[in-house]
Chain A
Amino acid sequence: MSATQEAPAPVGVLAPPSVGRQAVLIGRLDLRRRLRDRSIVIQVFLAPILLGLIVGGAFAGGSGNLEATIWVADADGTDTTRAISQTVAGSSEDGGVVFRAADVANEAEAQARVDDGTADAVVLIPAGFTAAVLDGRDAELLVVGWAGSPIVTGVAQSLADGIAAAVRSQQISTGTAVGTAEQLSLPVDAAALARALEQPELIVVTDSRMENSFNLISFFAPGMAMLFLFFVMGTAARSILTERREGTLDRILSGPTSPTGVLLGKTLSVIALGVLSLLTVYLFTTFAFGVDWGDPIGVLLIIFASVIAIAGISLIITGLARTEEQAQSLTIIGTLMLAILGGTFIYTASGPMATARAFTPNGQAAMGFIDLAAGEASWVAVLPRVAVILAIGLVTGTIGLLAIRKGFAR
């Protein structure tokens, strides 16, 4: 240090920058440091491209479309069930998902056909099905699938749901007709009623996302990208804790910078990282594998909303954790929980897991991406999902910010 040098005299108190400017300065520095240590290159480019290659490589063979054979097995053997199975079998064309009428006596046999690969899934109409319907008792259709093919099982489940709905509606209209005739003291033609029951108007309802044109990469790539996004966000969550440990956070806060400016800045850099990461997956799978994600505006809206939501969750993690190690553990736990609940690992068409999916940002995003990829939804149609995802981000972000601010006020 030069003792002969003289520092200029104090010139008075400077006007501090606005909170927005503080946030930009902090966010920019964060990104710059990540660029310098190359973590940004790994998180935003290399890893998403690797992810795209893995998913693309796994599902891009052949047409890349969902191909499966689903048997509709009539173990009841009545005219009604025969009509059902024949109608279903005639509804599919060659290639993609094929429905085939087949003779299977019971659940064990259906399971054996699935296990030996003859069928990818079996919808079994059990013996006594028609009699139960006619007696007004509960009648069940059985779906047998392989746990490793959740999507095919989902298609079979949708098919069974459609059959059940058709039979139920026929049952209700017949009951209504009989009830009305009795109230009006009109004679009831039992034979006509029986004919009506035995010739149900069968509508096979298949979930649009499961149609033949659906590309599996379109299902797995967004899900995996969302999963990856959690880890990116987790890294960002740790950056505030790292700055606290290194003392730079205290140095910043000892000046005119507000805690809000710090948090906004960190969140800005996290959002930029997340958006870039998802955009890389989107662009790479589009150009390298020809995946059609659907309406680009819708895709961008979902990407942006998802990043906001996950940034909110990462703020909660930052608020809860006291050390970087805790933040890392919480990130892993949070990622796994959301991946399971959001259906990233196992897709179920119905049940509690399907309900839970609606409350997770990744679940909502995945459904939105699927709607877009199936080509049936425009960006306008996914706006409700975008709104839900943003709402999740708003709630979690607010909770996270409150927790962090509480931590700042030592």
Chain B
Amino acid sequence: MTAPVLQCSNLVRRFGDLIAVNDVSLVVQPGETYGLLGPNGAGKTTTISMISGLLEATSGSVEVLGERITPSATQGKSALGLVPQDIALYPDLSALENLTFFGRLQGLSGDRLKDRITAVLDVVGLADRAKDRIDTYSGGMKRRANIAVGMLHEPTLLILDEPTVGVDPQSRNAILESVDALGTLGMAVVYTTHYMQEAERLCDQIGIIDEGRLIAEGTREELIAGLGDATAVTVRADGSPAAMERWRAALTGTSGVEAVQPEEYGATVTCTHASSTVAAAFAAADREDVVIGGVEVVSPDLEAVFLKLTGRALRDPS
């Protein structure tokens, strides 16, 4: 069995009384893309910060290629590439200058540095804008330049912290294609996101994190299989706030219903029997003066897994 690229053991991080990360353990194998999926504030970035040696763990350990990673240990960090959530580039320098600076800090020089810069600029599609200042780029281009710096030195483990937040759909798709390619090239990737679709598309292994705890882990299929017979039903409904509240409460108490997630449009219900749930939803609507506008039974997905595990949706209602 090959040695893991990343091994996190019982990671804990406290900020005063708040436990931001609570006993998180995970292993990433060579060439594997590991998705850390969770809502905002779940502890993803704190976990990433400990993995990349920016934050001291209160307890537990991080090892990359067998080297212990801490803020003061620089030995194992050469194997890491970090793409932070926010753009971490010098805005007054060009992409070429940023890449040259960060490449040299990683130990690249001469022709090898030039070759690597050319290669990553091609990968992120910024070759023709390489000499332009970063502050003249669009948001999507900045994100791509941000990724280019992270993969410049061909790290064994690339960490991407929500790389698609705030980008347009076109750039988002381009970023996902690029990350998809990294996995096939033998680079291990840790990818944090709160977008279920991204985790489903990119990741070989998915860890679901909520309130600092890793509450489930496995492949997409394994996680969905964990739902058992559960099905997700989205119900569009309208009524006064008080009536909607009573209607959701009635649904929650229905036999076979595992979780009811309030949505702006109505509710998403995780249940074992879709037909009886739909019937119960209509009956409760009659009683509580709520009008049902539509019902959809959806295939089980990671959203449903999260809903079942936490009783809440992955994303805030919007």
The interface of chain A, by Cβ under 8 A from chain B, is 1-3, 5-17, 22, 25-26, 29, 33, 36-37, 246-248, 250-259, 408-410
Contacts and interface: CB of A to CB of B under 8 A. Distances in A.
A2 B178 CA distance: 8
B103 to A, nearest CB: 10
Contacts of B181: 3, 6-7
B125 A1 contact: yes
Given A1-B174, A410-B54, A14 B108 contact: yes
Contact of B82 (A5, A9, A251, A409): A251
Interface of B: 52-56, 65, 71-72, 74-75, 77-80, 82, 84, 86-93, 101-102, 104-108, 116, 119-120, 122-125, 144, 149, 151, 153-156, 171, 174-175, 177-178, 181-182, 185-187
Given A13-B156, A252-B105, 6 more contacts: A1-B174, A5-B122, A8-B185, A10-B156, A255-B82, A256-B77
Contact of B84 (A6, A14, A33, A250): A250
A93 to B, nearest CB: 60
A255 B122 contact: no
Contacts of B53: 253-254
Interface of chain A: mostly helix, strand, loop or mixed: loop
Nearest to A251: B88
A5 B123 contact: yes
Given A9-B154, A10-B186, A13-B156, A247 B107 contact: no
A302 B203 CA distance: 61
B231 to A, nearest CB: 35
B123 A253 contact: no
A410 B55 contact: yes
Contacts of B77: 16, 254-256
27 contacts: A6-B185, A7-B120, A7-B123, A7-B182, A8-B119, A9-B154, A9-B186, A13-B65, A14-B108, A17-B105, A26-B105, A33-B92, A37-B92, A246-B88, A246-B90, A248-B90, A251-B84, A252-B102, A253-B71, A254-B52, A254-B53, A254-B77, A254-B82, A255-B80, A409-B56, A409-B71, A409-B72
A-B residue pairs, 3 tightest by C-beta: A247-B88, A1-B174, A14-B107
A1 B123 contact: yes
A88 B45 CA distance: 78
Contacts of B119: 7-8
A26 B149 CA distance: 16
Given A2-B125, A9-B186, A33-B90, A15 B107 contact: yes
A410 to B, nearest CB: 5
A14 B88 CA distance: 22
B89 to A, nearest CB: 7
Nearest to B177: A3
Given A1-B174, A10-B186, A410-B55, A25 B154 contact: no
B256 to A, nearest CB: 44
B140 to A, nearest CB: 9
* Most chain B CB neighbours (cut-off 10 Å) among A22, A26, A253: A253
Contacts of B185: 6-10
A387 B107 CA distance: 38
Nearest to B171: A1
B174 to A, nearest CB: 4
Contacts of A250: 54, 82, 84, 88
B78 A25 contact: no
Max chain B C-beta neighbours (<10 A), residue from A1, A3, A14, A408: A1
A9 to B, nearest CB: 5
Given A13-B65, A14-B153, A247-B86, A25 B101 contact: yes
Nearest to B91: A246
B108 A36 contact: no
Contact of B71 (A251, A255, A408): A408
Nearest to B80: A254
Nearest to A21: B104
A259 B93 CA distance: 23
A16 B75 CA distance: 8
Contacts of B72: 258-259, 409
Given A251-B88, A409-B71, A29 B101 contact: yes
A25 to B, nearest CB: 5
Nearest to A33: B92
Contacts of A410: 54-56, 71
A248 B123 contact: no
Contacts of A247: 84, 86-88
B235 to A, nearest CB: 39
Contacts of A259: 71-72
A246 B88 CA distance: 6
Contacts of B154: 7-12
Contacts of B156: 10, 12-13
A254 B90 contact: no
A257 B55 CA distance: 15
B102 A1 contact: no
A25 B54 CA distance: 21
B151 A7 contact: yes
B104 to A, nearest CB: 5
A13 B177 contact: no
Contacts of A10: 154-156, 185-187
Contacts of B107: 14-17, 256
Contacts of B71: 253, 259, 408-410
Contacts of A409: 56, 71-72
Nearest to B186: A9
Contact of B177 (A1, A22, A25, A26): A1
A15 B105 CA distance: 10
Given A6-B185, A10-B155, A248-B88, A25 B104 contact: yes
Contacts of B82: 250-251, 254-255
Q: Most B CB atoms within 10 A — which of A22, A248, A253, A258? A: A248
A299 B155 CA distance: 50
A253 B120 CA distance: 21
Contacts of B91: 246
B43 to A, nearest CB: 15
B174 A248 contact: no
A257 B186 contact: no
A244 to B, nearest CB: 11
A248 B93 CA distance: 12
